[in-house]
Every structure is written in C-alpha cells, then in structure tokens.
Structure 1
C-alpha cells in the first residue's frame, strides 16, 4: 500500500469518526459508530464544562442535542483549543439569536479622563 493510499484511508476513517462519514471499506461500521459516539461524548463533556452559565440556562435540556449537531457539523480543526471550540459554538448560538448577546464587562477606570489619581 502506498503512502497516498494510506493517507486517503486514514482521512476516510477520520471523516467517519468525527464528521459522520461512512466507514471506509474493510472497517467494521458498527465499531466505527461506537468509537465515533465515544469521541462525540468526550468532546461534548469538554465543551459543556467550558460553556458560560447563561448558555446552560437558556438551552437547558436542548444543550446536548445542540452540542451533538454542532460537533457533527463542525469537526475540530488542527491547532484549535477546546476554548476556541466552545467560543465558536457560543458565537453561533448568539448569531442565531438563541442566546442573547453578552453584556460588556466593566473594565475598570482606565481610560476614564474625569478621574485621575493624585
């Protein structure tokens, strides 16, 4: 088997595991489905821990199905952190209007010209 063939087969397997693709020829589809679900559950748990409380409050029981849909349609890119993944999920929810926009946090008195320490 050439390197190109091996790379293609690995890409097919990765697609099946993280993006809902079909199992490659010669690989047990039941085993791929089992491993894919385990990977989704692991990513779902990690994302749920990183989400802001307001997202949990707004979504409630709908959180798990939305996370599963997000995970299937948005495979993690190489080099992205779980924090970036969670931020992208929340940004998509805010863009859809599911979660209200976040209020700006108070950043302190820096930049306020009326108050100057002496």
Structure 2
C-alpha cells in the first residue's frame, strides 16, 4: 500500500465518521457507526459548553436535535456549529426561548455571516431572535425583551 492510498483511505474514514460520507471498503460497519455516534455525542457536548442556554432550552431533546442536524456536516468548531444550529432552528420556528435570548445576545456582540469566523462588533447593535430583543451599546449587553415563553 502506498502512502497516497493510505492517506486517501484515512480521508474516506474521517469523512464517514464526521461528515456523513460513505463507509470505505474494508471497514466493518458496526464499529464505524459506534465511533460516529460517540463523536457526535462528544461534539454535542462541546457545542453545549459554548451554547449552554440553547442546550438547556432544548433539554432532553438536545442530543437528538444536535445529532440530527450535525450528522452529515463537518464541524466548523463548537461556537460556529451552535450558531448555525440556532439560526436553523430559528428559521424553522423551533428555537426555544432560552436559545433565542442567547442567539440575540451573540448577534448583538459579534458579527457572523455563516462562512467566516465571528468578529466582535464595534458599533452599537440591536438584535432580535424568537421575540427576544437585545441591545449592545458601549460593550454592554442588555436584554430589552425576553423571548416569548
């Protein structure tokens, strides 16, 4: 086996584990599936540490909600994964109130376009998510109106 083919097989395995890629030939499906599920659980825990209110708002549904969203996506890092999930849930009308307040607070303090890394805002910002209204002025964040409960 040459180095190039080993690298290609490793890339196929990584894609199967973390990005929803097909199972490469020569690998047993059960152990790869078990490893994939374990990596999704670990990833959900990492995202929950960056987005604790989103995870708490979803409660017992957090692991399944995150796994369903993340199963076919490679990670962009825990902060961005949580942000992208929160925005998708907002778009579907499924963002819990705590998650809406957390998303509005993040978007008041930080710019994130979904493609490039988040950057701190320098100018005042007023943001809304799920009924929550947040104002960022002079580096201070104020929840003006909580999300609908």
TM-score of the pair, normalised by structure 2: 0.59
Larger helix share, 1 or 2: 1
RMSD, aligned α-carbons: 2.5
Provide the residue aligned with 1:74 in structure 2. Answer: 73
Unaligned runs of 5+ in 1: 109-118
Q: Which has the higher contact order (CA 8 A, sep 6+)?
A: 1
TM-score of the pair, normalised by structure 1: 0.72
Structure 1 ranges of 4+ moved more than 4 A = none
Unaligned runs of 5+ in 2: 101-128, 139-149
Give deviations 1:28-66, integer Å, cap 9, x for gaps.
222211211211111011112222525532x23222211
Larger strand share, 1 or 2: 2
Out of 86-95 and 46-55, give the one that drifted further.
46-55
Q: Is the 2:50–2:82 contact (alpha carbons within 8 Å) kept by the matching residues of 1?
A: yes
Decide which structure has the larger Cα Rg and report it: 1
The total of aligned residue pairs comes to 106
Provide the residue aligned with 1:61 in structure 2. Answer: 60
